[in-house]
Amino acid sequence: MFGIEFVPNEPALKVGYMAKLAEDAGFDTIWITDHYNNRDVYSTLAILALATSRVRLGTGVTNPYTRNVAVTASSIASINEISGGRAILGIGPGDKATFDAMGIAWEKPLSAVRDSVAALRELLAKKRVEGHGMAGAQLAFSAGKIPIYIGAQGPKMLEMAGMIADGVLVNASHPDDFKYAVPLVRQGAEKAGRDPKEVEISAYTSFSADKNPDKAANEAKIVVAFIVAGSPETVLSRHGIEAEEAAAVSRAIAKGDFGSALAAVTSTMIDVFSVSGTPVECRARVDELLATGVTQIVVGSPIGPNKERSIKLIGKEIL
Ligand SMILES: C[C@H](OP(=O)(O)OC[C@@H](O)[C@@H](O)[C@@H](O)Cn1c2nc(=O)[nH]c(=O)c-2cc2ccc(O)cc21)C(=O)N[C@@H](CCC(=O)N[C@@H](CCC(=O)O)C(=O)O)C(=O)O
């Protein structure tokens, strides 16, 4: 199963055009990121619902802080109705930097995600919800069947996703991260008395494919820089990346000195935090990821030096 992520940092109609390209190239799912400073995720998904006819359409990922969960239920149910039943809700704890900027206290993210998924299950079943922070909220229209996926990286979030979600979206591009994550998700499913096969495990990668491997790697650099800057110590040491090397990238980004940040990104960092290179090289990494128990590959930003060309190239030579 192959998905693709679009960040709505360009007009929704343009994202709609790319979505149609991706559908024609053979992708199965399309994920739209949710950050307050980009276009609204649901407006963008509505455009995609009209621009496509087969692909499934997901929030990749929303969070329980910037929208009340009853509003999230109404929004994803509306997308499900507009798209003829193709919506997927992806929800994660969100990221601290974003919430600091918005003046939102990032409290108890694990519990917040758990409670919001429980409330969503009931709201999307058109039930009157008492509890999980709700006091009688109820949708006035039928949502239809909407899978709920969790965006997770930490051990507890991964296990919880296995316990309660239909799928998990793990922001990682290297097999070692999935040798760590997959058993935790399966453990969660078993703890909840579920068949682990019920939980779709998606590698939500940073992907950059081009016939020219240097161009592909170059395009991945800026995304890798932000991933390095946001990676916990445990992830860096899993891959033998020195804290000082990562700090050099973080410091440069914090100063807005992107030239130095890019210069501080090593080829190891690109290899660890992205799937990048020629189609043959990318396909080799995809096969490594699938061998760890991953069941869906999501092609995440930057996709390639020229998005349109890379979408077609990936469709032709990798899917
Ligand atoms: C909260 C954090 O969970 P995490 O899984 O590491 O979260 C990292 C990311 O998944 C999270 O930031 C996501 O929202 C990031 N994210 C996006 N975040 C966005 O805001 N927008 C996006 O579009 C987005 C896309 C996306 C796609 C895939 C993906 O995997 C993640 C994505 C964490 O620290 N988890 C710990 C648990 C922390 C804990 O125990 N908390 C307790 C108590 C501690 C306390 O008091 O806070 C609790 O919450 O009850 C763990 O899993 O072990």
Q: With 90 as the cut, is the pLDDT of residue 113 above it?
A: yes
Q: With 90 as the cut, is the pLDDT of residue 9 above it?
A: yes
Please identify, by atom number, the ligand 1 atom nearest to the C-alpha of residue 171. 30
- Crossing angle of helices 279-290 and 175-191, in 10° steps, is 30
Q: Mean pLDDT, the chain, as a whole number?
A: 97
CATH code: domain of residue 47 = 3.20.20.30
In a domain, 278, yes or no: yes
If you average pLDDT over residues 247-258, what whole number do you get?
93
Please identify, by atom number, the ligand 1 atom nearest to the C-alpha of residue 158. 52
DSSP state of 318: T
53: nearest Cα among 6, 8, 19: 19
If you average pLDDT over residues 110-121, what whole number do you get?
97
96: nearest Cα among 60, 59, 63: 63
204 lines ligand 1 (CB under 6 A): yes
In a domain, 76, yes or no: yes
Rounded to the nearest angstrom, the gap between the alpha carbon of residue 73 and the centroid of all alpha carbons in its chain is: 19
* Dihedral angle sign, alpha carbons of residues 302, 305, 309, 315: negative
DSSP state of 170: E
If you average pLDDT over residues 256-260, what whole number do you get?
93
In a domain, 264, yes or no: no
Confidence of residue 96 (pLDDT cuts 50, 70, 90): confident
Q: In sequence order, what are the residues at sequence separation of 6 or more whose Cβ sits closer than 8 angstroms to the Cβ of residue 103? A: none
If you average pLDDT over residues 25-44, what whole number do you get?
97
Return the half-sphere exposure (C-beta side, CA atoms, 13 A cut-off) of residue 203: 31
In a domain, 242, yes or no: no
Total domains in the chain come to: 1
Encoded amino acid at 258, one letter: F
ipTM above 0.85, yes or no: yes
If you average pLDDT over residues 232-241, what whole number do you get?
94
pLDDT score for 220: 97
Q: In sequence order, what are the residues at sequence separation of 6 or more whose Cβ sits closer than 8 angstroms to the Cβ of residue 140? A: none
In a domain, 64, yes or no: yes
171 lines ligand 1 (CB under 6 A): yes
pLDDT score for 192: 98
Domain that holds residue 23: 2-213+274-317
202 lines ligand 1 (CB under 6 A): no
Rounded to the nearest angstrom, the gap between the alpha carbon of residue 258 and the centroid of all alpha carbons in its chain is: 24
Distance from the alpha carbon of residue 50 to the mean position of ligand 1, in angstroms: 31
In a domain, 256, yes or no: no
| Locus of tokens 């991933």 | 227
Please identify, by atom number, the ligand 1 atom nearest to the C-alpha of residue 108. 49
pLDDT tens digit string along 192-221? Answer: 999 999 999 999 999 999 999 999 999 999
pLDDT score for 95: 85
Residues 198, 161 contacting (CB under 8 angstroms) = no
What percentage of the chain has pLDDT greater than the value 90?
Answer: 97
pLDDT score for 160: 98
Residues 154, 231 contacting (CB under 8 angstroms) = no
pTM of the model: 0.96
CA dist., res. 145 & res. 122, Å (int): 12
Q: With 90 as the cut, is the pLDDT of residue 97 above it?
A: no
Confidence of residue 234 (pLDDT cuts 50, 70, 90): very high
Q: Name the strand (E) or helix (H) holding 20.
A: helix 12-25
Please identify, by atom number, the ligand 1 atom nearest to the C-alpha of residue 98. 20
pLDDT tens digit string along 148-184? Answer: 999 999 999 999 999 999 999 999 999 999 999 999 9
In a domain, 156, yes or no: yes
In a domain, 226, yes or no: no
